[in-house]
Structure 1
Amino acid sequence: MEPGFEIDPNGLLKPRRLTLAQWLREGLRAGLLLRPRVGGSEPNPLQVGALVLIVALIDIALGRFEVMGEAAFDLRGALAPWWSTAAMLLIAWWGLPRRDEHLQRPSGLPAWFALWMGAVILPSLVAQVLTLAQLHEALPAFLSEFEWEGWLLYGGLWLWTVAAVVRLLHSFAVPPLRLAVVSACMIGIFALSAWQFPDRPWQPVMAQAEPEAANRMQLSQPVIEAQQATLERTLQGVAPHREGIVDVYGIVFSPYAEGEVFMRESRMVADLLAERFDAQGHVIHLANNAATPESIAWATPDNLDRAVDAIAAKMDRENDVLVVYLTSHGARDFKLAAANPPLEVEPLSPGDLRRALDKAGIRNRVIAVSACYSGGWIGPLSSESTLVMTAADADHTSYGCGSRSKLTFFGRAVFDEQLRKTHSFEQAFAQAVPVIKQREIEGNKPDGFSNPQISVGDRIRPVLHELEQRLGTRPG
């Protein structure tokens, strides 16, 4: 007899009240694509709530191991994925037949939701274990060395989840047309959630302010007036394009005032671009630092927009090259950390930068992002006329942003070392990656290789090659 039924005194089948353990067991069966044996039973609200809590606690517990070292619980990150559950409930409500307790099959929205909560546990566990193995560099060699096999594995997990959805809906006797519509909607929800809501329940704790940068900026009217004058002078001081050559322009953006390493690095990159890339008068340096409000314009999203517009007004937007260098702490939401106390500064996102560059109409772009998890900037910024390089992939921290570092590992290896030997950004990146890896090994980086990333559009390559040839003929 089905576990979801019992015989009443009249000898008739009637739905049996299942325990929480039975609902969980049958949900796990559904996750294995087996038919859940619940008959016409319906869970009570406490059982549904308990199943939701079990799923949430598993995700939170395993999520803690995704962050090496100190981490802070992020309620927003923990709750963000649950929007998809609410959306799926609405779709299922429309698609499921009306509940009939006399049917010897599952029916009703509460039963479907309870079973679905159990069904997602196994695919989620496997996916999270694989993610943890990747973070700790414990994946088998054939998965870590060959990208397509890794994607095939994760694609299989995704198909497993989709198959569990379809199989569970089928066990509720959803009509074929509605089954197709509901399945398609749920697949869309899965894809949108993975694409736009990558938030996780734990976030790494940012490094503490360094002793030399711990002093807060003393905000006063003279400081504000001096900063306004500095910004105006900086924007107006951009030199115009020189006819007949491919000019290099630069924006160096360092928004985190509580880390002297970022100020040192931003100065180094600004000087390097001016000296090595023939960009004197073409580089705008924006930085937050307690000691420089009267000499360097603040690094804020609004000032970045103004800098992009100022350069666009002076450069040949179709032929010149704009180099943008960003250096700060990063997070799993891919936003660049910003701090300039006592001022409040909004963090910069990849979309912010892309919109500013697109609006200005600047075609040829070289963008470097030195921050943890900066690989998340590759997709939003890539184009046929853009080179993007990042200090890490989307799943790893970068290294060298602590108080003892003169420069970050990425900034040091790519810009301060390799780009002093070559004018090729691609070559500098390729030569720097093994150096970064070796230094991270020697520094006992806790969460594995940062895995710097690069994306080069087909149309930017010949432009940069021409630039390399011109710069290579200059003395020094």
Structure 2
Amino acid sequence: MSEPSGTSEVLSGGLLARSVENLSTVIRRILPGADTRPVHAGSTDALVAFVVLIAIEALVYVILVSPGSLTYWEMRGFAGGVVFHVLAALLVAVAARRGEVVPDLAVGLLWALTIGLVLAFVAGFVIPPDGWLGWIIGYALPSMLPAVLFLLATLGPVTGGIAALAFVVSVGLVTLEWAGVPLWTNDEEVASEAPPVPDTEALYAAQPDLLRQQTAALRSGQAGVPELFAVLGAGHPYEGVFAREVDAVADQLATDFGAEGRVIRLVNDAATPAALPLLNRTNLATALFSVGRAMNEEDILLLFITSHGAPGLLSTWFNGAISRDLQTGDLARILDEARIPNAVIVVSACYSGSFVEALRASNRLILTAARADRASFGCAAENEWTDWGRAFFQEGLAESFDPREAARIAQDIVAENEAREGYDASQPQIAEGASIGAALDRWLATLQP
């Protein structure tokens, strides 16, 4: 009973009117006294149903599953859920009629899934989707119930029951896994793998003193003499390579560049959470403002942040302590407000090239471990350095104190290593502002014997 799928016929009936009628038909069919009126099943009808499903699922996902910003990683999970729901609807439509694609059944299921997601959105506020029971009652059941009722009403109790069972099992398992409920581990395993939660109250009470210890020890620059200041940050608290990298850079700056007393470290470290100030937006702003006040116009700031990353963000999430990652807009705003005269900004993370445009300025040299759409490597917990960190700080700066030249050396080293290992090239980036070169040259001249 499907209607022709030509676009002209869809438009002649009024796309909005047909879509509203389809929604009404599905609602009527899942209510007592099933409506036998067919679903409009043109290709554009299917496209509308698909687009509405994506929009509703995005809304539910952002508000219920991820109250913060919709990050790249969260978007991957969301896309996986949408794709699986749609594939399940199409497969059920095929299986229900023994291999024949049934457009009206497929389009109806898409609308039924949309209705279910709206129910899940409402139910999520009543029963927070936390743990097995919360996800089953507050998300899985309301999201799948309309589709099940639609199948039963359309195909009858036997065929519809079989189709509904297949639909519930397939969509249900993937939905729970997608939503973060572990299906194949027991409670003890989950507890042992959960990130540790620090004493948040004590941790934040200690932050002002931890910051004061570092900012009070800052040595002001000597007027007329270019000097190096540094703010170093380790974002991801669950792999020690980032904290070790910050410590190593701090030692190197003191030994090779005379920066002792002009370095502030901000470190998220689950092993020793209160040893140093946290790397969060507030502490980063305080650190940069303090350095900005201590600097003279000829001085140079090295801002180095190392962490995991995604397009437009650096991971600073710390279970129970920091709920929001550091985003490009955050870093750009803080740097602008701190009024740093000259800066070398080094961002070591996957997709770190996505920070270049937001941070670009004439008085800044921006170095990143990867292109905006590429991963970087070497962040295993047991490592002393990330691959790019080693190439730039240990190898590049050992050959040249000029960060521009050291970055070019690091680019070659990284490219050679990645080609040998068979990795996709990370393509570290160098973005030099118009005026930073002269400031760097004046500073480098003071380092010559």
TM-score for both structures, normalised by structure 2: 0.60
Mapped to 2, the partners of 1:40 and 1:52 lie a distance apart of 15
Of the three residues 430, 433, 438, the one matched with 1:454 is 430
1:273-331, Cα deviation, whole Å (9 max, x unpaired)? 22222211111000011333443111111000000111111111x22111100111111
Q: CA contact under 8 A between 2:200 and 2:321: conserved in structure 1?
A: no
The match for 2:440 among 464, 467, 476 is: 464
Equivalent residues in 2 for 1:237-256, closer than 5 Å:
237-256=217-236
Q: 2:253 aligned to 251, 256, 273, which one?
A: 273
Taking a change above 3 Å as real, the CA distance of residues 53 and 275 of structure 1, as seen in their structure-2 partners, is: farther
The answer as to whether partners of 1:227 and 1:293 remain within 8 angstroms in 2 is: no
Deviations 1:399-420 (A, max 9, x none): 1112343211111101121112
Q: Which runs of 4+ in 1 moved over 6 A?
A: 55-58, 76-79
* Equivalence for 2:46: 50
Q: How many angstroms does 1:255 deviate by?
A: 1.8
- Equivalence for 1:369: 347
Alignment counterpart, residue 389 of structure 1, candidates 353, 357, 367: 367
1:409 aligned onto 2:387:
yes
Q: Give the equivalent residue in structure 1 for 2:294.
A: 314
Aligned match of 2:4: 19
**Structure with greater proportional helix content:** 2
Q: Extract unaligned runs of 5+ from structure 2.
A: 23-41, 58-72, 83-177, 179-192
Name the counterpart of 2:278. Answer: 298
Amino acid at match of 1:330: G
Seen in structure 2, the aligned counterparts of structure 1 residues 439 and 71 have a Cα distance that, compared at 3 Å, is farther
Counterpart residue type for residue 411 of structure 2: V
1:400 aligns with 2:378: yes
Deviation per residue, 1:40-73 (Å, 9 max, x gap): 5534214444113567999x9xxxxxxxxx9973
Trace 1:40-439 onto structure 2 (pairs within 5 A).
Answer: 40=12, 42-43=14-15, 44-45=18-19, 46=22, 47=42, 48-53=44-49, 73-75=76-78, 216=196, 218-219=198-199, 224-316=204-296, 318-332=297-311, 334-439=312-417
Unpaired stretches in structure 1, ≥5 consecutive residues: 1-16, 27-36, 61-69, 80-201, 203-212
Quick one: percent identity of the two aligned structures? 32
Distance in 2 between residues matched to 1:268 and 1:42, nearest whole Å: 66
Secondary structure class of the residue paired with 1:325: strand
In structure 2, relative to structure 1, the CA distance for the partners of 1:422 and 1:225 (3 Å cut) is: same
Classify 1:78/1:238 alpha carbon distance in 2 versus 1 (closer, same or farther; 3 Å): farther
For residues 429 and 81 of structure 2, the distance between their equivalents in structure 1, rounded to whole angstroms, comes to 28
Q: Is the 8 A contact 2:352 2:369 kept in 1?
A: yes
Instruction: Report the residue type matching 1:285 in the other structure.
Output: R
AA paired with 2:279? A
How many positions carry a matched residue from both structures? Answer: 299
Aligned 8 A contact 1:423 1:472 in 2: no
RMSD: 3.2
Work out which structure has the larger RCO, using CA pairs closer than 8 Å and 6 or more positions apart in sequence: 1
1:388 is paired with a residue whose SS is strand
